[in-house]
Structure 1
């Protein structure tokens, strides 16, 4: 009896596990991942990929339409705004600001909500009641009003805006994590950990938290898209990123007076906001279905 081993050429032709996993993802979601990677890469490399200085003004070139239209100026692919600034360059730099603010806000929100959710579900009693009372209050009050109040009191600085985004949607993490912890804390592996004298912090962060990671990841993708829209809304109202710094929402807000005569000033950043939010939402929806064991075959 002889054993046949695959040759090196045949082994090289076999797809890796990562490639097999990638092929199992639906085509539409793969496209979403590619678009998301392209947007993040463009945002990270904004100083190098933007064709012009986003703040450079040329009043002689103001309100020029995109390439392909009459009066278009060479080099300005998406046209210019009311001050003669390149719309494409401002969109790329605005994408950096918007994604950066949303990522920082989502990190703060995830940390705050997950920590309070773990504490509420594991400790229970009055601690649970107090945390859930705060959660109910935040759910009952429209957060846009809370954001407007905070910005009106503390100002429109970047730190204030990050704080506003950070306290948004933390209650969603808290409720999800609390429910998961309530279901896990009476399971045998938790009881066994208590029986051998394991500390509460080790039980929470080494054993319970990894078991609630899947819904947290899904929720994070959904929250990021909501924070992008919230930041854009505040900037549109003039309460977010202040000029001359570009963000997608502030570009839409500053260009709304020119929508009739120069719609490209608003259309380009608005379509970019929709694209980013839609891609993140579709990826989050797919992750929810993929990580839910009740929907697995």
Structure 2
């Protein structure tokens, strides 16, 4: 009898445990986003508890990269680092989950391990001329100092590179305005396409046309910026800024660049379309009232 009671009690506890686990798995995104709002020490404790429950920190990493909203990801990755998951370990596991996830985690790590500043007044003015409100310029960061970025810059022949909203360039140097516009185009690509743009940009550099852009390329693109390679897209916007707003002479006429470059611009004010029939009806009403 006692054994039967123990068995029933154990079965009930197991059932409750399984129900709790089911809730955790189905609401993992919401749980992680709540955790991300806490202080780093609390995040560390809660991440540890969560991993102890689901028994696989890699699943937590996958959830962070695929479902958790962007604003919460950095804090959660910091939490994983705090509990002993190194940047190298995170990158190895992210790579196993796919190229786009690896690119996203790499971008977050570059943000975490660097010192940054926002756009200054003149940079913002020039950015708004080209992009309007298609990019949340308040989220854009430029590296002030970053050992990780400097190492990659050294390997990359001091060429600036962009990881989501973070523009990385050599510590202590000045980022030229035309280069900033080029890199902001990569930010726009991140906004519209996600982290996969980084893989596509690297492919363009190593296996595609890279930074080479000709009038023939624009003709073949048939008016669509998306038909150009990622680096070519950035070159289009950079060259357009030079000609349109800085008065520089460019190899490709600005009139050819403009229709493509305008595709990254989003106006702050949107004029709602209306039907001609609606306009005609309103006109008739005015005439009747008079």
Per the normalisation by structure 2, the TM-score is 0.25
Q: Report which structure shows greater RCO (CA 8 Å, sep ≥6).
A: 1
In the superposition, the TM-score normalised over structure 1's length comes to: 0.24
Report which of the two has the higher share of strand. 2
Q: For the pair shown, which has the larger CA radius of gyration, 1 or 2?
A: 2
